[in-house]
Structure 1
Amino acid sequence: MTVDEKVSEGARKVYQLLEKSSDLHIEAWADYVVFTWRWWLLLGLTLIPWIIWLVYRKKESTHRLLFVGFFTIFISLWLDSMGTQLGWWYYKYELIPFTPSFKPWDFSLLPVTTMFFLQFKPSINPFIKGLVYAAIIAFIAEPLFLWLGYYVYPNWEYIYSFFIYFIIYLISHFIVTRNKFERI
């Protein structure tokens, strides 16, 4: 058997296990999660922040803020997928069971919070705002969702999240404060 054939066989086995795992995950989600109070709360936490943002956003900065919001979605989704695959955390309740991520957090709560922080008192030192942002999310929001039973941290600490959120905020601030984008 050649190296390429061994790699192909190994990849095939991995994807068979992933398919079986996915089937079990979807079955458990359909039987025990969907339409429970936790699921309805997740649905609300996915939709309501965007509705609030649409009403209270700084209208003249909509596109700039959305650019940062999409950056935050991309980063949080990537980090979330990586963390679950590495076994740092896992989710017991999910809005939809097709990717290993906490959709309300990655697609709504984190980007909307970032956009509001950026537009609120923009003259405050970004390092101070970043510290407050990271502290609120890592030491208040994450423990709350852990307490509500949405996920488990077998190999993660809040302090790790604090530094990640601080960096996300500083990069977001850098992006949103650029004077202009080049015309296409």
Structure 2
Amino acid sequence: MNNDKYISLVDKNGNEIEKLISEKIDIWREYVLFSELWWLGVALSIIPWIIWFFIRKKDSTDRLLYTALFVMVVSLCLDVLGDQLGVWGYRFNVIPVLPTYVPWDITLMPLTVIIILQIRPGANPLIKALIFAVISSYLAEPFFHWLQIYNLKHWRYSYSVPIQIVIYLMAHYISKRNNFASLNE
């Protein structure tokens, strides 16, 4: 393999990406920043956390935040992957350089999961996973598509259902863990 040729191509590609990102930021600054949909995104990033703070099961806060962090990481990774592969994209981003919709990944997905975990904790997790998947895939995604925030390219809402089920079931499993060693010396 010719490393010099490869390095040259990667550097050229990186420079082109930097120019496009700079252009994207300029467009975002002119058309998105402080628009109604930008404010909606900011509100959806903050207000649900404030509400959750008051309605959460207080003695499970650490466990729920641990689970929420897992959901955030998975959501962010899958969103970046989907965006980079061109199967979907987002407009009206809260933060222009992130290829994900921050309110969805850091607030709506994790909070929905941990709230459902708190409701009837003894209920069948598969049924709860299915309810979560149907709500997020057939109500939330179409709503954000209708707002023109979520841009489906090569994706269908139904494709999200099994992914959402797996995310919920993994979060359910993580929420039940209690094997934490003490950090005392």
TM-score by length of 1: 0.97
2:67 and 2:175 in contact (8 A); partners too: yes
Provide runs of 4+ in structure 1 moved above 3 Å.
none
1:82-108 superposed Cα distances (whole Å, 9 cap, x missing partner): 000000011121001011000000111
1:14-44 superposed Cα distances (whole Å, 9 cap, x missing partner): 1111101101110110000011111111111
Kindly, what percent of the aligned residue pairs are identical? 42
Corresponding letter in the other structure for 2:110 = P
What is aligned with 2:24?
Answer: 25
Instruction: Tell me the CA shift for residue 70 of structure 1.
Output: 0.4
What is aligned with 2:10?
Answer: 11
Question: What's the secondary structure of 1:152's corresponding residue?
Answer: strand
- Asked if 1:59 corresponds to 2:58, the answer is yes
Corresponding letter in the other structure for 1:81 = V
Instruction: Tell me the CA shift for residue 183 of structure 1.
Output: 2.9
Question: What's the secondary structure of 1:90's corresponding residue?
Answer: strand
What is aligned with 1:141?
Answer: 140
Unpaired segments of 5 or more residues in structure 1? none
Instruction: Tell me the CA shift for residue 180 of structure 1.
Output: 2.9
Matches within 5 A, 1:99-178: 99-178=98-177
| Distance in 2, Cα, partners of 1:66 & 1:72 | 10
Instruction: Tell me the CA shift for residue 179 of structure 1.
Output: 3.3
Q: CA RMSD in A?
A: 1.0
What is aligned with 2:71?
Answer: 72
Question: What's the secondary structure of 2:98's corresponding residue?
Answer: coil
| Distance in 2, Cα, partners of 1:180 & 1:39 | 41
TM-score by length of 2: 0.96
Q: How many residues align?
A: 183
